[in-house]
Structure 1
Amino acid sequence: MAVESPVKIPALDYEKEMKRWTQVYKILTEDAPKIEHSPREMVWRKNKTTLWHYPAKEKKYSTPLFFVYSLLNKPYILDISPDTSVIAGLTKRGYDVYLLDWGNPGYEDDDISFDSYILDYLEKGVKRALRHSGAEDISVVGYCLGGTIASIFASITDLPIKNLIVATVPIDYSVGVAPEKWLEGLQNGTVSVDRWVDVYGTIPPALVEAMFRTLAPVNVSPYVGLVSRAHDSRYVDKWRRMDKWLNDSAPFAGAALKQMFNDLMKDNKLVKGELVIGGRRADLSNIKCNFFAVSSANDGLIAEGQSLPVMDLVSSEDKTYKVVEAGHVSLALSGLFAPIVDEWLSSRSDLA
């Protein structure tokens, strides 16, 4: 006996589907978009690292911002399009912005450690920004692993940091989004990167990307979104910029990678107050400046449990924690981050 189904399946529109998949194929095979930076000037360079200055459109605040990005990816995600640029959003709001671009370490840079990056590059870069701006103090903004580095730096430096902002920041590595057995193996020493790093020295971008894709589940949703919205030119432009950035990892200096895996991920020394950088103990309780931490509710890479402990570890009297409905990348890509920073920072920055 035939039974009529209550579910009506619409007829397939072959012509529409052919247009859709033709457009998807075109998007996936055409040249990657060219990223145009906001107006900027180079104010300092050391080895592969560059310090960029993005002047305010109309300067409202004398306290400049200094961005520290991750060592894993390239920082142009912060200035990826005119409409959603984090940096442009802040210069339009009256802030002078400095960005430390770590650059691409070569094979000759395999001995660059966290100590070197923080003391020889970051600390000197902040000194140059203070000198260049003529400001008495500065606000430091760290994103992802850049937030970890910025926090370590703030805990050991004597430079005048007025405000510290960290976003999607991994601090407590006893938790994470990686498979439980992977984390367990790393923490008990059965998983190690030391011999692998010794072979490669500086890790090539393709291997960096492959390694860190194992930390989170494979995400196919960007391609699902592309198929369903291939007709939307604004969405496609945004998608192509994100896709370019996601597939444009930076090489990783071997000494720094060993420290990240062994001192941070394996031994969790930052949370325990046992991390030593250049002979200085990186105790987060030394951080007393105004402090703002931002987490993404839909972050597939950095679990909130990795970020939240920082609120108990810093000694700041003025400290704020905010959870935003965004993902790890979309927080920077959507245009949300600049207004979030400005809302908190404007009352904590000196007027020009």
Structure 2
Amino acid sequence: MNFEKYQDFIMEKTLELLNINSPTGYTEDAANYCLEEFRKLGFEAKLTNKGGVLVNIGGKDKENGLLLEAHTDTLGGMVSSIKSSGRLVVTPLGGMNANNAETENVTVITKFDGEYEGTFQLNNASIHVNGEYNDTKRTFDSCEVVLDEDVKSEEDTKKLGISVGDIVCFEPNARITKSGYIKSRFLDDKLSVGILLGFAKYIADNKITPERAIYIHITVFEEVGHGGCASVPEGVTEAISVDMGCVGEGLTCTEKQVSICAKDSGGPYAFSIVKGLIEAAKKAGADYAVDVYPHYGSDVEATLSAGYDIKHGLIGAGVYASHGYERSHKEGALNTMKLLVAYADL
């Protein structure tokens, strides 16, 4: 089967989604995008009360359903206070790290008064003025948002309509290189959403009715730990989180592979699922790696913690520099899709 034609589709949809701001807690636009894209492919899709998207892919055996989970919420920030200078103190949403967010352009989304641009900078960011520039630890206490507006006081900023609780979105800076790498903030986990759209398109294009019921849940609170806690359809016996595969020292996965996680911070994944995923990768000719992630938690572990009686697994295209300026490759996305098709026995 020719899967390569789905690479461009996956990359196109991933780029579109990357350019929709969706920090945890502000995901309506991204969720609506996903809702419409699955519907365009001909599938029944609905918004959950929580704000995620639940898709019914179809299938004959509804007593042995498979749930695939990916998340469209990302890291970001929220205004926690306004300084006397008119600049903004930010609290992170999820695991946003000040060290690699410094100097990034941001958009402040107010609750009632539109959007404003700014930059996330170290306090007193002029190196020709600040003698402690090199020695200052970058934290959300030592950095601030400098608004691209003529504000000189807290009152000036408040007059713009900016207030505590407004959302701060960091630019993704997404691009695809000639060599096939995709670089962006928030590939975790928008690349996986693109892969699941490719997986759904493959089923639609080939008019496949799966032997077992398959559902997709695009979650919206994964970055704060409770994305997959609800909305598991009746009859689901297995859930697989399709998230980023870890790439780094001590691990074997590269950006061109699909990673199968055997264990992460939440403990081991179901041995039978890990074994089945490896067998499916071999069957599909998908380039894969099996790794243990030292600092990681997934949607499907939240599903288990919510009390659902399921077996669980975790896969994803290899992603380097997680929670920073991330990088993967179109081959990693393709290998992930191949694995999903083989595991679902399509």
State TM-score, norm by structure 1.
0.32
Query: Quick check: which has more Rg, 1 or 2?
Result: 1
Between Structure 1 and Structure 2, the one with more strand by share is 2
Between Structure 1 and Structure 2, the one with more helix by share is 1
State TM-score, norm by structure 2.
0.32
